[in-house]
Amino acid sequence: MASNIILYGPPGTGKTYATASHAVLLCDGALPGAGDQNAIRSRFEELRQAGRISFVTFHQSFGYEEFVEGLRPHVSDAGQVVYSVRPGVFKSACASALLRSPSSPGISGKPLRERKVFKMSLGASWSDEGTKVFDYCLKNSCILLGWGGDIDFSDCDTREAIERKLKQEAPDIEKPGSHLRFVDCFKREMKIGDLVMVSYGNSKFRGIAEVADDYEFAEDAPFHQMRRVRWLATSADGWSASDLYEKAVVMSTLYVLGADNINWETLQGIVGVPEPAQGAQQHVIIIDEINRANISKVFGELITLIEPDKRAGAPNAVTVRLPYSGEDFSVPSNLHIIGTMNTADRSIALLDTALRRRFDFVEVMPDPALLRGVEIEGVDLEQLLRALNERIEVLYDRDHTIGHAYFLGVTTLSDLEAVFRRKVLPLLQEYFFENWAKVRRVLSDRGDGDFIRRVIRPALAVDDDDGDQGEPTFVYSVNPATFPVQAYQRIYAG
Protein backbone atom coordinates (compact mmCIF):
# COMPACT_ATOMS: atom_id res chain seq x y z
CA MET A 1 0.00 0.00 0.00
CA ALA A 2 1.38 3.39 -1.00
CA SER A 3 2.20 5.83 1.78
CA ASN A 4 1.60 9.57 1.66
CA ILE A 5 3.25 11.18 4.68
CA ILE A 6 3.92 14.76 5.77
CA LEU A 7 6.39 15.44 8.59
CA TYR A 8 5.46 18.76 10.17
CA GLY A 9 6.78 20.86 13.00
CA PRO A 10 8.74 23.99 13.96
CA PRO A 11 12.13 24.82 12.41
CA GLY A 12 15.19 22.91 13.55
CA THR A 13 13.43 19.71 14.63
CA GLY A 14 15.13 17.52 11.98
CA LYS A 15 12.22 16.96 9.59
CA THR A 16 14.37 16.87 6.46
CA TYR A 17 16.95 14.78 8.31
CA ALA A 18 14.24 12.30 9.32
CA THR A 19 13.09 11.81 5.71
CA ALA A 20 16.18 9.66 5.07
CA SER A 21 15.10 7.06 7.63
CA HIS A 22 11.50 7.09 6.40
CA ALA A 23 12.59 6.74 2.76
CA VAL A 24 14.99 3.84 3.43
CA LEU A 25 12.37 2.07 5.54
CA LEU A 26 9.75 2.40 2.80
CA CYS A 27 12.17 1.16 0.12
CA ASP A 28 13.75 -1.74 2.03
CA GLY A 29 11.22 -2.56 4.73
CA ALA A 30 13.91 -2.24 7.42
CA LEU A 31 16.69 0.08 8.51
CA PRO A 32 20.32 -1.04 8.12
CA GLY A 33 22.85 -1.25 10.92
CA ALA A 34 20.24 -1.40 13.72
CA GLY A 35 19.27 2.18 12.97
CA ASP A 36 22.81 3.56 12.78
CA GLN A 37 22.57 6.97 11.10
CA ASN A 38 25.73 6.55 9.04
CA ALA A 39 24.44 3.25 7.65
CA ILE A 40 21.07 4.85 6.92
CA ARG A 41 22.64 7.79 5.08
CA SER A 42 24.84 5.43 3.07
CA ARG A 43 21.87 3.29 2.05
CA PHE A 44 19.86 6.42 1.27
CA GLU A 45 22.57 7.56 -1.14
CA GLU A 46 22.68 4.13 -2.79
CA LEU A 47 18.92 4.23 -3.35
CA ARG A 48 19.10 7.79 -4.65
CA GLN A 49 21.81 6.90 -7.15
CA ALA A 50 19.76 3.88 -8.23
CA GLY A 51 16.86 6.22 -9.07
CA ARG A 52 14.58 4.93 -6.32
CA ILE A 53 14.60 8.13 -4.23
CA SER A 54 13.96 11.57 -5.73
CA PHE A 55 14.14 14.91 -3.91
CA VAL A 56 12.55 18.27 -4.72
CA THR A 57 12.02 21.48 -2.75
CA PHE A 58 8.84 23.49 -3.30
CA HIS A 59 8.91 27.29 -3.46
CA GLN A 60 6.43 30.04 -4.23
CA SER A 61 6.98 30.02 -8.00
CA PHE A 62 7.03 26.22 -8.35
CA GLY A 63 4.26 25.04 -10.67
CA TYR A 64 2.58 22.16 -12.48
CA GLU A 65 5.03 22.44 -15.38
CA GLU A 66 8.01 21.68 -13.12
CA PHE A 67 6.20 18.99 -11.12
CA VAL A 68 4.17 17.02 -13.70
CA GLU A 69 4.95 18.16 -17.25
CA GLY A 70 5.14 21.30 -19.33
CA LEU A 71 6.52 22.96 -22.44
CA ARG A 72 10.22 23.77 -22.25
CA PRO A 73 12.40 25.65 -24.76
CA HIS A 74 15.51 24.07 -26.24
CA VAL A 75 17.79 24.58 -29.21
CA SER A 76 17.26 22.12 -32.07
CA ASP A 77 20.02 20.61 -34.20
CA ALA A 78 19.28 23.34 -36.74
CA GLY A 79 20.03 26.02 -34.13
CA GLN A 80 16.40 27.11 -33.71
CA VAL A 81 14.57 27.56 -30.41
CA VAL A 82 11.67 25.10 -30.26
CA TYR A 83 9.30 23.99 -27.51
CA SER A 84 8.56 20.43 -26.50
CA VAL A 85 6.83 18.64 -23.64
CA ARG A 86 9.23 17.72 -20.84
CA PRO A 87 8.34 15.56 -17.83
CA GLY A 88 8.53 17.14 -14.38
CA VAL A 89 10.10 15.61 -11.29
CA PHE A 90 6.99 13.71 -10.24
CA LYS A 91 6.28 12.24 -13.66
CA SER A 92 9.93 11.17 -13.91
CA ALA A 93 9.68 9.52 -10.49
CA CYS A 94 6.56 7.67 -11.65
CA ALA A 95 8.45 6.43 -14.73
CA SER A 96 11.23 5.08 -12.49
CA ALA A 97 8.70 3.42 -10.20
CA LEU A 98 7.16 1.55 -13.14
CA LEU A 99 10.37 -0.45 -13.45
CA ARG A 100 9.73 -3.81 -11.82
CA SER A 101 12.32 -5.74 -9.85
CA PRO A 102 14.76 -7.83 -11.89
CA SER A 103 14.16 -11.59 -11.89
CA SER A 104 17.29 -11.89 -9.73
CA PRO A 105 19.35 -9.24 -7.88
CA GLY A 106 22.01 -7.48 -9.92
CA ILE A 107 23.45 -8.80 -13.17
CA SER A 108 23.30 -12.46 -14.15
CA GLY A 109 25.89 -14.72 -15.79
CA LYS A 110 29.51 -13.77 -16.31
CA PRO A 111 31.40 -11.16 -14.24
CA LEU A 112 30.74 -7.50 -14.92
CA ARG A 113 34.23 -6.68 -16.22
CA GLU A 114 34.00 -9.40 -18.89
CA ARG A 115 31.03 -7.75 -20.56
CA LYS A 116 30.93 -5.29 -23.41
CA VAL A 117 29.24 -2.03 -22.43
CA PHE A 118 27.39 0.15 -24.96
CA LYS A 119 26.39 3.78 -24.73
CA MET A 120 22.98 4.31 -26.35
CA SER A 121 20.55 7.18 -26.88
CA LEU A 122 16.84 6.41 -26.78
CA GLY A 123 15.72 9.52 -28.67
CA ALA A 124 16.69 13.09 -27.80
CA SER A 125 16.38 13.49 -24.00
CA TRP A 126 14.94 16.99 -24.32
CA SER A 127 12.20 16.03 -26.81
CA ASP A 128 8.68 14.70 -26.32
CA GLU A 129 9.57 11.80 -28.64
CA GLY A 130 12.61 10.91 -26.54
CA THR A 131 10.51 10.86 -23.36
CA LYS A 132 7.89 8.60 -24.94
CA VAL A 133 10.51 6.20 -26.32
CA PHE A 134 12.25 5.90 -22.96
CA ASP A 135 8.95 5.33 -21.12
CA TYR A 136 7.96 2.71 -23.70
CA CYS A 137 11.27 0.91 -23.23
CA LEU A 138 10.88 0.86 -19.43
CA LYS A 139 7.34 -0.48 -19.58
CA ASN A 140 8.15 -3.10 -22.22
CA SER A 141 11.63 -4.19 -21.04
CA CYS A 142 13.36 -3.33 -24.28
CA ILE A 143 15.61 -0.85 -26.06
CA LEU A 144 14.70 0.67 -29.44
CA LEU A 145 16.86 2.00 -32.27
CA GLY A 146 15.53 4.74 -34.55
CA TRP A 147 18.05 4.11 -37.34
CA GLY A 148 16.93 1.61 -39.97
CA GLY A 149 13.47 3.10 -40.24
CA ASP A 150 10.67 0.59 -40.78
CA ILE A 151 12.86 -2.05 -42.44
CA ASP A 152 12.86 -5.55 -40.94
CA PHE A 153 16.45 -6.85 -40.70
CA SER A 154 15.57 -10.20 -39.09
CA ASP A 155 17.00 -12.21 -42.01
CA CYS A 156 20.25 -10.22 -42.22
CA ASP A 157 23.12 -12.13 -40.63
CA THR A 158 26.00 -10.09 -42.07
CA ARG A 159 26.90 -6.44 -42.51
CA GLU A 160 26.68 -6.94 -46.29
CA ALA A 161 23.14 -8.32 -45.97
CA ILE A 162 22.08 -5.25 -43.95
CA GLU A 163 23.61 -2.97 -46.60
CA ARG A 164 21.78 -4.80 -49.44
CA LYS A 165 18.49 -4.54 -47.54
CA LEU A 166 18.93 -0.80 -47.07
CA LYS A 167 19.68 -0.29 -50.79
CA GLN A 168 16.72 -2.43 -51.85
CA GLU A 169 14.02 -1.05 -49.53
CA ALA A 170 15.27 2.51 -48.95
CA PRO A 171 17.46 3.53 -51.90
CA ASP A 172 16.96 7.26 -51.24
CA ILE A 173 17.44 7.15 -47.48
CA GLU A 174 19.58 9.96 -46.01
CA LYS A 175 22.88 9.06 -44.34
CA PRO A 176 22.90 5.40 -45.48
CA GLY A 177 26.32 4.89 -43.88
CA SER A 178 24.98 5.85 -40.45
CA HIS A 179 21.96 3.57 -40.83
CA LEU A 180 24.26 0.70 -41.75
CA ARG A 181 26.71 1.31 -38.92
CA PHE A 182 24.12 1.60 -36.14
CA VAL A 183 21.87 -1.25 -37.30
CA ASP A 184 24.87 -3.56 -37.67
CA CYS A 185 26.09 -2.66 -34.18
CA PHE A 186 22.60 -3.06 -32.69
CA LYS A 187 21.80 -6.36 -34.42
CA ARG A 188 25.11 -8.19 -34.68
CA GLU A 189 27.75 -6.66 -32.41
CA MET A 190 25.50 -6.36 -29.36
CA LYS A 191 25.25 -9.77 -27.65
CA ILE A 192 23.03 -11.27 -24.96
CA GLY A 193 24.57 -10.40 -21.58
CA ASP A 194 26.12 -7.12 -22.76
CA LEU A 195 25.21 -3.96 -20.85
CA VAL A 196 23.61 -0.84 -22.29
CA MET A 197 23.96 2.53 -20.57
CA VAL A 198 21.27 4.92 -21.76
CA SER A 199 22.45 8.51 -21.98
CA TYR A 200 20.60 11.59 -20.70
CA GLY A 201 22.15 14.31 -22.84
CA ASN A 202 25.95 14.21 -22.82
CA SER A 203 26.47 14.66 -19.09
CA LYS A 204 24.35 11.93 -17.51
CA PHE A 205 23.11 8.36 -17.81
CA ARG A 206 19.53 7.57 -16.87
CA GLY A 207 19.24 3.81 -17.30
CA ILE A 208 21.36 0.64 -17.29
CA ALA A 209 20.12 -2.58 -18.84
CA GLU A 210 21.32 -6.10 -19.58
CA VAL A 211 20.64 -7.39 -23.11
CA ALA A 212 18.31 -10.38 -22.73
CA ASP A 213 17.46 -11.52 -26.27
CA ASP A 214 18.36 -11.31 -29.95
CA TYR A 215 17.22 -8.67 -32.40
CA GLU A 216 13.54 -8.47 -33.36
CA PHE A 217 11.43 -6.21 -35.53
CA ALA A 218 8.73 -4.36 -33.55
CA GLU A 219 5.81 -3.39 -35.76
CA ASP A 220 3.90 -1.27 -33.23
CA ALA A 221 6.72 0.31 -31.22
CA PRO A 222 7.78 3.99 -31.56
CA PHE A 223 11.01 2.75 -33.25
CA HIS A 224 11.01 -0.62 -35.00
CA GLN A 225 14.48 -2.05 -34.24
CA MET A 226 14.21 -3.80 -30.85
CA ARG A 227 16.29 -5.78 -28.36
CA ARG A 228 14.71 -7.22 -25.22
CA VAL A 229 16.55 -6.20 -22.03
CA ARG A 230 16.40 -6.59 -18.28
CA TRP A 231 16.51 -3.17 -16.70
CA LEU A 232 18.97 -3.16 -13.82
CA ALA A 233 18.59 0.44 -12.67
CA THR A 234 17.06 3.75 -13.70
CA SER A 235 17.38 7.23 -12.26
CA ALA A 236 14.95 10.12 -12.58
CA ASP A 237 17.80 12.61 -11.95
CA GLY A 238 20.44 10.61 -13.81
CA TRP A 239 23.95 9.55 -12.77
CA SER A 240 26.84 11.83 -13.67
CA ALA A 241 28.53 10.50 -16.81
CA SER A 242 31.93 11.52 -15.49
CA ASP A 243 31.41 9.30 -12.42
CA LEU A 244 30.85 6.27 -14.65
CA TYR A 245 33.08 6.99 -17.64
CA GLU A 246 36.38 8.89 -17.64
CA LYS A 247 36.14 10.12 -21.24
CA ALA A 248 33.58 12.56 -22.67
CA VAL A 249 30.29 11.01 -23.81
CA VAL A 250 29.58 11.96 -27.45
CA MET A 251 26.34 12.47 -29.34
CA SER A 252 26.60 9.26 -31.39
CA THR A 253 23.49 7.10 -30.97
CA LEU A 254 25.23 3.80 -30.24
CA TYR A 255 28.84 2.81 -29.62
CA VAL A 256 31.00 0.64 -27.39
CA LEU A 257 32.50 2.29 -24.31
CA GLY A 258 36.21 1.68 -23.79
CA ALA A 259 36.69 -0.81 -20.96
CA ASP A 260 39.75 1.04 -19.62
CA ASN A 261 37.70 4.21 -19.13
CA ILE A 262 34.72 2.66 -17.31
CA ASN A 263 34.55 3.13 -13.55
CA TRP A 264 33.72 -0.50 -12.83
CA GLU A 265 33.36 -0.04 -9.07
CA THR A 266 30.76 2.70 -9.47
CA LEU A 267 28.92 0.69 -12.10
CA GLN A 268 28.97 -2.39 -9.87
CA GLY A 269 27.56 -0.32 -7.01
CA ILE A 270 24.59 0.72 -9.16
CA VAL A 271 23.70 -2.55 -10.88
CA GLY A 272 24.67 -4.86 -8.04
CA VAL A 273 22.48 -3.38 -5.29
CA PRO A 274 20.16 -6.18 -4.08
CA GLU A 275 16.48 -5.53 -4.64
CA PRO A 276 13.39 -7.17 -3.12
CA ALA A 277 13.06 -10.75 -4.28
CA GLN A 278 9.58 -10.29 -5.67
CA GLY A 279 7.02 -7.67 -6.57
CA ALA A 280 7.70 -4.07 -7.44
CA GLN A 281 10.62 -2.00 -6.27
CA GLN A 282 9.53 0.58 -3.74
CA HIS A 283 10.26 4.17 -4.75
CA VAL A 284 10.05 7.43 -2.80
CA ILE A 285 9.77 11.08 -3.78
CA ILE A 286 10.62 13.57 -1.02
CA ILE A 287 9.01 17.01 -1.23
CA ASP A 288 10.74 19.43 1.13
CA GLU A 289 8.80 22.53 2.26
CA ILE A 290 5.61 21.18 0.68
CA ASN A 291 3.47 24.00 2.09
CA ARG A 292 5.49 26.79 0.44
CA ALA A 293 3.96 26.27 -3.01
CA ASN A 294 0.39 26.65 -4.26
CA ILE A 295 -0.61 23.01 -3.80
CA SER A 296 -3.67 23.11 -6.05
CA LYS A 297 -1.62 24.66 -8.85
CA VAL A 298 1.33 22.27 -8.50
CA PHE A 299 -0.55 18.98 -8.14
CA GLY A 300 -3.42 19.65 -10.53
CA GLU A 301 -5.24 16.38 -11.31
CA LEU A 302 -2.71 14.45 -9.20
CA ILE A 303 -4.64 15.44 -6.08
CA THR A 304 -7.00 12.58 -6.97
CA LEU A 305 -4.42 10.20 -8.43
CA ILE A 306 -2.15 10.06 -5.36
CA GLU A 307 -4.80 8.46 -3.14
CA PRO A 308 -3.74 4.85 -2.40
CA ASP A 309 -6.98 3.36 -3.73
CA LYS A 310 -6.78 5.47 -6.92
CA ARG A 311 -3.26 4.27 -7.87
CA ALA A 312 -2.60 2.01 -10.85
CA GLY A 313 -3.68 -1.56 -10.07
CA ALA A 314 -5.79 -0.51 -7.06
CA PRO A 315 -9.54 -1.34 -6.85
CA ASN A 316 -10.57 2.24 -7.72
CA ALA A 317 -7.69 3.04 -10.09
CA VAL A 318 -8.04 6.32 -11.99
CA THR A 319 -6.31 7.26 -15.24
CA VAL A 320 -6.31 10.81 -16.61
CA ARG A 321 -5.16 12.33 -19.87
CA LEU A 322 -2.39 14.85 -19.31
CA PRO A 323 -3.08 18.26 -20.91
CA TYR A 324 0.34 18.88 -22.51
CA SER A 325 1.40 15.48 -23.85
CA GLY A 326 -2.07 13.98 -24.22
CA GLU A 327 -0.77 10.77 -22.57
CA ASP A 328 -2.89 8.55 -20.36
CA PHE A 329 -1.35 8.74 -16.91
CA SER A 330 -1.79 7.05 -13.55
CA VAL A 331 0.35 7.00 -10.43
CA PRO A 332 2.05 3.65 -9.70
CA SER A 333 1.20 1.99 -6.40
CA ASN A 334 4.86 1.51 -5.45
CA LEU A 335 5.68 5.24 -5.31
CA HIS A 336 5.58 6.72 -1.82
CA ILE A 337 5.41 10.47 -1.13
CA ILE A 338 7.11 12.08 1.87
CA GLY A 339 6.63 15.79 2.48
CA THR A 340 8.04 18.14 5.10
CA MET A 341 6.30 21.23 6.39
CA ASN A 342 7.61 24.02 8.60
CA THR A 343 4.73 25.12 10.81
CA ALA A 344 6.40 28.47 11.45
CA ASP A 345 6.17 29.35 7.74
CA ARG A 346 2.48 28.71 7.37
CA SER A 347 0.00 27.23 9.80
CA ILE A 348 -1.12 23.69 9.08
CA ALA A 349 -4.70 25.01 9.32
CA LEU A 350 -4.13 26.94 6.07
CA LEU A 351 -2.97 23.88 4.10
CA ASP A 352 -5.11 22.81 1.15
CA THR A 353 -7.96 20.67 2.53
CA ALA A 354 -7.73 18.24 -0.38
CA LEU A 355 -4.06 17.62 0.43
CA ARG A 356 -4.71 17.21 4.15
CA ARG A 357 -7.23 14.47 3.41
CA ARG A 358 -4.79 12.48 1.29
CA PHE A 359 -1.78 12.54 3.62
CA ASP A 360 -0.98 11.13 7.03
CA PHE A 361 0.54 13.83 9.22
CA VAL A 362 3.41 13.01 11.58
CA GLU A 363 4.34 15.71 14.08
CA VAL A 364 8.07 16.29 14.66
CA MET A 365 8.51 18.56 17.68
CA PRO A 366 11.59 19.81 19.55
CA ASP A 367 13.09 17.11 21.77
CA PRO A 368 15.14 18.65 24.59
CA ALA A 369 15.92 15.13 25.87
CA LEU A 370 18.40 14.76 22.99
CA LEU A 371 20.52 17.38 24.79
CA ARG A 372 20.43 15.56 28.13
CA GLY A 373 23.73 15.63 29.96
CA VAL A 374 25.20 18.39 27.80
CA GLU A 375 26.45 21.21 30.02
CA ILE A 376 28.47 24.15 28.69
CA GLU A 377 30.34 25.99 31.48
CA GLY A 378 27.40 25.59 33.84
CA VAL A 379 24.63 26.02 31.23
CA ASP A 380 22.33 22.98 30.99
CA LEU A 381 21.25 22.84 27.34
CA GLU A 382 18.29 20.53 27.96
CA GLN A 383 16.80 22.81 30.59
CA LEU A 384 17.63 25.88 28.47
CA LEU A 385 15.77 24.64 25.39
CA ARG A 386 12.85 23.31 27.41
CA ALA A 387 12.37 26.63 29.21
CA LEU A 388 12.73 28.66 25.99
CA ASN A 389 9.97 26.66 24.30
CA GLU A 390 7.67 26.74 27.34
CA ARG A 391 7.91 30.53 27.31
CA ILE A 392 7.29 30.70 23.53
CA GLU A 393 4.21 28.49 23.89
CA VAL A 394 2.78 30.86 26.50
CA LEU A 395 3.55 34.04 24.54
CA TYR A 396 2.85 32.71 21.01
CA ASP A 397 2.11 29.02 20.26
CA ARG A 398 3.77 25.61 20.01
CA ASP A 399 4.12 25.82 16.21
CA HIS A 400 6.79 28.50 16.67
CA THR A 401 9.00 26.77 19.19
CA ILE A 402 12.73 26.27 18.56
CA GLY A 403 14.15 22.97 17.38
CA HIS A 404 16.83 20.95 19.13
CA ALA A 405 18.91 20.67 15.93
CA TYR A 406 20.27 24.19 16.44
CA PHE A 407 21.99 23.06 19.66
CA LEU A 408 23.26 19.60 18.71
CA GLY A 409 26.69 20.83 17.61
CA VAL A 410 27.26 23.15 20.55
CA THR A 411 30.40 22.26 22.54
CA THR A 412 31.65 25.63 23.82
CA LEU A 413 30.20 28.86 25.19
CA SER A 414 31.18 30.66 21.98
CA ASP A 415 29.22 28.03 20.00
CA LEU A 416 26.19 28.69 22.19
CA GLU A 417 26.49 32.44 21.71
CA ALA A 418 26.71 31.97 17.94
CA VAL A 419 23.48 29.91 18.01
CA PHE A 420 21.70 32.60 19.99
CA ARG A 421 22.97 35.50 17.85
CA ARG A 422 22.49 33.85 14.44
CA LYS A 423 19.52 31.52 15.01
CA VAL A 424 17.52 32.06 18.19
CA LEU A 425 17.36 35.87 18.31
CA PRO A 426 16.53 36.30 14.58
CA LEU A 427 13.75 33.68 14.92
CA LEU A 428 12.31 35.42 17.96
CA GLN A 429 12.44 38.79 16.17
CA GLU A 430 10.50 37.28 13.29
CA TYR A 431 8.00 35.46 15.49
CA PHE A 432 7.12 38.51 17.55
CA PHE A 433 7.34 41.03 14.69
CA GLU A 434 10.17 42.84 16.48
CA ASN A 435 8.10 43.28 19.64
CA TRP A 436 11.25 43.43 21.70
CA ALA A 437 9.42 43.45 25.01
CA LYS A 438 8.09 39.94 24.28
CA VAL A 439 11.48 38.79 23.06
CA ARG A 440 12.94 39.91 26.39
CA ARG A 441 10.19 38.03 28.25
CA VAL A 442 11.05 34.82 26.37
CA LEU A 443 14.70 35.29 27.33
CA SER A 444 13.89 36.35 30.92
CA ASP A 445 16.01 39.39 30.17
CA ARG A 446 15.88 42.02 32.90
CA GLY A 447 17.08 45.52 33.57
CA ASP A 448 19.26 46.97 30.86
CA GLY A 449 19.39 43.47 29.37
CA ASP A 450 22.12 40.86 28.89
CA PHE A 451 20.72 39.73 25.53
CA ILE A 452 18.63 42.73 24.47
CA ARG A 453 19.74 46.15 25.67
CA ARG A 454 17.01 48.67 26.52
CA VAL A 455 17.66 52.41 26.48
CA ILE A 456 15.09 55.04 27.42
CA ARG A 457 14.97 57.97 25.00
CA PRO A 458 13.26 61.14 26.30
CA ALA A 459 10.39 62.67 24.39
CA LEU A 460 11.39 65.21 21.76
CA ALA A 461 10.20 68.78 21.89
CA VAL A 462 8.41 70.15 18.83
CA ASP A 463 9.10 73.85 18.07
CA ASP A 464 8.32 75.92 21.20
CA ASP A 465 5.24 73.97 22.19
CA ASP A 466 4.97 73.96 25.95
CA GLY A 467 2.17 71.40 25.93
CA ASP A 468 2.36 67.63 26.32
CA GLN A 469 5.58 66.37 24.77
CA GLY A 470 4.60 62.65 24.84
CA GLU A 471 6.04 59.68 26.69
CA PRO A 472 9.66 58.55 26.76
CA THR A 473 10.46 55.79 24.24
CA PHE A 474 12.24 52.48 24.80
CA VAL A 475 14.88 51.68 22.19
CA TYR A 476 16.14 48.09 21.90
CA SER A 477 19.26 46.56 20.39
CA VAL A 478 21.13 43.27 20.66
CA ASN A 479 23.91 43.48 23.23
CA PRO A 480 27.22 43.62 21.28
CA ALA A 481 29.15 42.35 24.30
CA THR A 482 29.55 38.66 25.07
CA PHE A 483 26.41 37.16 26.61
CA PRO A 484 27.19 36.20 30.24
CA VAL A 485 26.66 32.67 31.53
CA GLN A 486 24.09 33.83 34.05
CA ALA A 487 21.92 35.20 31.22
CA TYR A 488 21.44 31.67 29.86
CA GLN A 489 20.96 30.21 33.31
CA ARG A 490 18.30 32.83 34.15
CA ILE A 491 16.10 31.54 31.28
CA TYR A 492 15.47 28.24 33.06
CA ALA A 493 16.05 29.38 36.64
CA GLY A 494 12.80 31.33 36.58
DSSP 425-461: HHHHHHHTTT-HHHHHHHTT--TT-SSEEEEEEPPPP
Q: What is the share, in percent, of the chain residues with pLDDT greater than 90?
A: 46
**Of 365, 389, 411, which marks where a domain is finished?**
365
pLDDT for position 460: 72
Please report which helix (H) or strand (E) contains residue 414, including its range. Answer: helix 413-419
Whole-angstrom distance, CA of residue 366 vs CA of residue 360: 20
Q: How remote is the C-alpha of 366 from its chain's centroid?
A: 25
pLDDT for position 133: 86
Same domain, residue pair 50 and 107: no
Whole-angstrom distance, CA of residue 492 vs CA of residue 494: 5
Same domain, residue pair 5 and 129: no
Cβ neighbours around 250 below 10 Å, total: 9
Same domain, residue pair 19 and 64: yes
**Confidence check: pLDDT of 467 > 80:** no
Q: pLDDT averaged over the chain?
A: 86
Residue 133 sits in a domain whose CATH number is 3.10.590.10
Same domain, residue pair 373 and 481: yes
Q: Which domain holds residue 384?
A: 368-493
Q: What is the pLDDT of residues 15-57, one digit of tens each?
A: 999 999 999 999 998 998 877 889 999 999 988 877 789 999 9
The angle subtended at Cα 471 by Cα 465 and Cα 477, nearest 5°, is: 125
The angle subtended at Cα 36 by Cα 35 and Cα 42, nearest 5°, is: 110
For 319-348, what is the mean pLDDT? 85
Same domain, residue pair 434 and 324: no
**Of 254, 274, 294, which marks where a domain is finished?**
274
Rg, the chain, Cα only: 30
What order do you get walking across the sheet with 225-240 strand by strand? 142-145, 225-240, 204-217, 195-200, 117-120, 254-256
Same domain, residue pair 310 and 406: no
Same domain, residue pair 218 and 306: no
Q: In terms of pTM, does the model score above 0.85?
A: no
**Of 274, 303, 319, which marks where a domain is finished?**
274
Same domain, residue pair 72 and 110: no
Contact 28, 359 (CB under 8 A): no
Contact 143, 229 (CB under 8 A): yes
Structural domains in the chain (count)? 3
pLDDT band at 315 (very low <50, low <70, confident <90, very high): confident
Contact 16, 340 (CB under 8 A): yes
pLDDT for position 466: 58
pLDDT for position 78: 62
Contacts of 397 (CB under 8 A, 6+ apart): none
Same domain, residue pair 128 and 91: no
Range with the lowest mean pLDDT among 61-65, 73-77, 132-136, 339-343? 73-77
pLDDT for position 392: 96
What is residue 292's DSSP assignment? G
Q: Residue 135 is which amino acid?
A: D
Whole-angstrom distance, CA of residue 191 vs CA of residue 291: 50
More confident call, 275 vs 482 = 482
Same domain, residue pair 288 and 270: no
Same domain, residue pair 350 and 205: no
Whole-angstrom distance, CA of residue 491 vs CA of residue 441: 9
Residue 301 sits in a domain whose CATH number is 3.40.50.300
Q: What is the pLDDT of residues 427-449, one digit of tens each?
A: 999 999 889 999 999 999 988 88
Same domain, residue pair 301 and 422: no
Range with the lowest mean pLDDT among 74-88, 151-165, 268-282, 439-453? 268-282
